[in-house]
Amino acid sequence: MSERQLVAVDIGGTHARFAIATIAEDGAISLDEPETLHTADHVSFQTAWEDYRARKGGHLPDAVSLAIAGRTSGDAIRFTNNPWVIRPALIKEKLGASRYTLVNDFAAVAHAVAQAPDDQFLHLAGPDQPLAAEGTLSVLGPGTGLGVAHLWRDSSGYRVQATEGGHVDFAPLDQIEDAILARLRKRHMRVSVERVVSGPGIVEIYATLAALEGKPVAEMDDVSIWQAGMEGSDSLAAAAVDRFCLALGSMAGDFALAQGGFGGVVIAGGLGYRLREILPGSGFAERFRAKGRFADLMGTIPVKLITHPQPGLFGAAAAFAKEHG
């Protein structure tokens, strides 16, 4: 096998990231400097692709892997937060690709977890040891929503499974979380975990804490609350960030139990990466272990945060390599 190149693309609601990925003869994957385009600046994926192609001098490799925030099956792939439509049957013609791969964005992150070296993981909780070489690993991460996947591996290779785990029910553990749920129930008959454990979820947490203290709710968007909370310039926002870390720990433990992710749990996503210095000193680890009769078992699971700067792009390339050999 000779070295080959492909275009790796990671498409979300707000951004589409592009990079040229190189797969070496030994299977090692490297990326050139990624380009980030705003989906709002382009009426279709085709025009975004053409913009990227122009930035790369008018020529791109004839292979492509698309990591997509959502389902990757069907005649037309539509996005929740942008107007783009991708029709798989037309990919080869429209993009000039001889081979392509479509992969869910969080499945791509799971591919990255399977392929990334140990030095690209930051220890968060549990025993300070590498992720298990055999068994199931749970992979999850908060961002605009909550992505959840898992992978199983042994000496012969690995398999990835994307899920819709972000849409399971939110389960409160104390009176404050009861209040968060009650607030959300006024607008949603059913409250999924990503209503709380996601970037926008901080708004609901912040508003609930303000109401519990009898304070007026400041007109702040999620970006402003995260910034103020992580800087410590607003004590209520800082308390909301702490509360978020608790909920993330609970949810991560739930998925480890549900998926059998006893070989390790990996936190990913842009927000997860931003919290890398806060999570180790928060109540995340305590909540992760707080599973009643299974607390001792939970304490044996290594919990890591993937630090690769572009796990979606890296994973898209890894998914292509696994599919096409």
DSSP string, 32-84: ---EEEEGGG-SSHHHHHHHHHHHTTT---SEEEEEESS---SS-EE-SSS--
pLDDT at 302: 98
pLDDT at 310: 93
* Mean pLDDT computed over 165-169: 95
Confidence of residue 262 (pLDDT cuts 50, 70, 90): very high
Residues making up the annotated binding site are: 9-14
Q: Is the pLDDT of residue 325 over 90?
A: no
pLDDT digits (tens, 9 = 90+) for 109-126: 999 999 999 999 999 999
Confidence of residue 269 (pLDDT cuts 50, 70, 90): confident
Q: Is the pLDDT of residue 2 over 80?
A: no
Instruction: Cite the residue boundaries of each domain of the chain with CATH code 3.30.420.40.
Output: 4-104+309-324
Q: Which CATH architecture has domain 165-306?
A: 3-Layer(aba) Sandwich (3.40)
Q: Is the pLDDT of residue 265 over 90?
A: yes
Residues making up the annotated binding site for ATP are: 9-14
Adjacent-strand bridge partners of 244? none
* Mean pLDDT computed over 42-51: 95
pLDDT at 270: 85
pLDDT digits (tens, 9 = 90+) for 85-109: 999 999 999 999 999 999 999 999 9
Q: CA quadruple 310, 288, 118, 131: dihedral positive or negative?
A: negative
Q: Is the pLDDT of residue 1 over 60?
A: no
Q: pLDDT above 90 covers what percent of the chain?
A: 88
* Mean pLDDT computed over 318-325: 93
Instruction: Cite the residue boundaries of each domain of the chain with CATH code 3.40.367.20.
Output: 165-306
pLDDT digits (tens, 9 = 90+) for 189-219: 899 999 999 999 999 999 999 999 999 887 8
Please provide the CATH number assigned to the domain covering 4-104+309-324.
3.30.420.40
Only one residue has tokens 């049957």, namely 89
pLDDT at 218: 78
Q: Is the pLDDT of residue 274 over 60?
A: yes
pLDDT at 71: 83
pLDDT digits (tens, 9 = 90+) for 240-256: 999 999 999 999 999 99
Q: Is the pLDDT of residue 80 over 70?
A: no
Q: How large is the greatest C-alpha to C-alpha distance in the chain, in angstroms? A: 66
* Mean pLDDT computed over 61-66: 97
Q: Is the pLDDT of residue 53 over 80?
A: yes
pLDDT at 301: 98
